[in-house]
Amino acid sequence: MALCAFLGLGVMGYPMAGHLRSAGHDVSVWNRTASKAVSWAGEHGGRSAETIEDAVTNADFVFACLGDDPDVRSVAEKAIPAMKPGAVFVDHTTASAELARELDQDARDAGIGFIDGPVSGGQAGAENGQLTIMCGGEADTFDQVAPVMQAYAKAMSLIGPAGAGQLAKMVNQICIAGIVQGLSEGLHFAKRSGLDPELVIGAISKGAAQSWQMENRWETMVAGKFDYGFAIDWMRKDLRITLDEARRNGAKLPVTALVDQFYGDVQDMGGNRWDTSSLIARLEGGDE
């Protein structure tokens, strides 16, 4: 059993912290809205902390899952100095690689370990303990924390030094953006051609066109139901970080940049909280 702290109890952090507790770890939680931490503690039997410092002081491992770079900075500035020597800070937020490198240096200066560990799998993955974690940091630090993260992971990989986990998550989002747009166009084309989408998907889903998105989202996309995963507001945040990084490293991402604009169109349709598969709604317009 490890002494853990979890900072940030949103749709991802709340169940992730719960899995830590279910795995037998001693967990203290903190959330900006304190009532959510109190509710979590009542549900899972852990401890709600009034301050970040109180949550992390005795923890062996501190996990954070927050919104964006400014949120992580504001929390880490309080958490890292309060942590005991030899502890490990893991940031599960999808944030910039630049921030990960800054936090890694801050952690080194404080005598603690750091891992940037953004996750993939969405809310369902968090709730089911089936997240994929892409990690950046030192190998010995990763080996130290990996058995604890196993509570909510189906797979985890150390990609490279600090920042590499965030860069790998950017690759993940680049691939998803293109795949979802392609699937949206394919389904839209099939319907306009008078084809039965179920028959088409049955024919092509076992071949080269197959993808997780096709297997798991085609039916809800055709039905116009978009409340099954990662919200567009979050995806656009991730793509902003990705495109900013591409401008720094010189990578050419024309499709990603275009799909980001398409997601903006869906936001203009009122789809801010729709999941990423809602790209098809932009194509269908008033067809349904």
Please name the residues in contact with 178: beta carbons below 8 A apart, sequence gap of 6 or more: 255, 256, 259
Question: What is the set of active-site residues?
Answer: 169
pLDDT in tens, 22-61: 999 999 999 999 999 999 999 999 999 999 999 999 999 9
* Domains in the chain: boundaries: 3-160, 167-284
DSSP 111: T
Q: Is the pLDDT of residue 288 over 50?
A: no
pLDDT, mean of residues 141-152:
98
Task: Determine the Cα–Cα distance for residues 50 and 146; give it in Å rounded to an integer.
Answer: 28
Q: What is the mean pLDDT of the chain?
A: 96
pLDDT in tens, 108-119: 999 999 999 999
Q: Is the pLDDT of residue 229 over 80?
A: no
- Helix runs in the chain, H state only: 13-22, 34-44, 52-56, 69-82, 97-110, 122-128, 139-149, 164-192, 197-204, 212-223, 232-249, 254-268, 279-284
Please check whether residue 40 is in contact with residue 54, taking contact to mean a CB–CB distance below 8 angstroms.
no
Closest CA to 65 of 21, 2, 6: 6
Per-residue pLDDT at 251: 98
C-alpha atoms less than 13 angstroms from C-alpha of 278 in its C-beta half-sphere? 26
**Cα dist from 211 to 15, 182, 231, 239, whole Å:** 26, 11, 20, 20
Task: Determine the Cα–Cα distance for residues 90 and 149; give it in Å rounded to an integer.
Answer: 10
**CATH code for residues 3-160:** 3.40.50.720
pLDDT in tens, 60-105: 999 999 999 999 999 999 999 999 999 999 999 999 999 999 999 9
**CATH code for residues 167-284:** 1.10.1040.10
DSSP 225: -
Name the pTM for this structure: 0.94
Question: Strands 61-64, 113-116: parallel, antiparallel or unpaired by DSSP?
Answer: unpaired
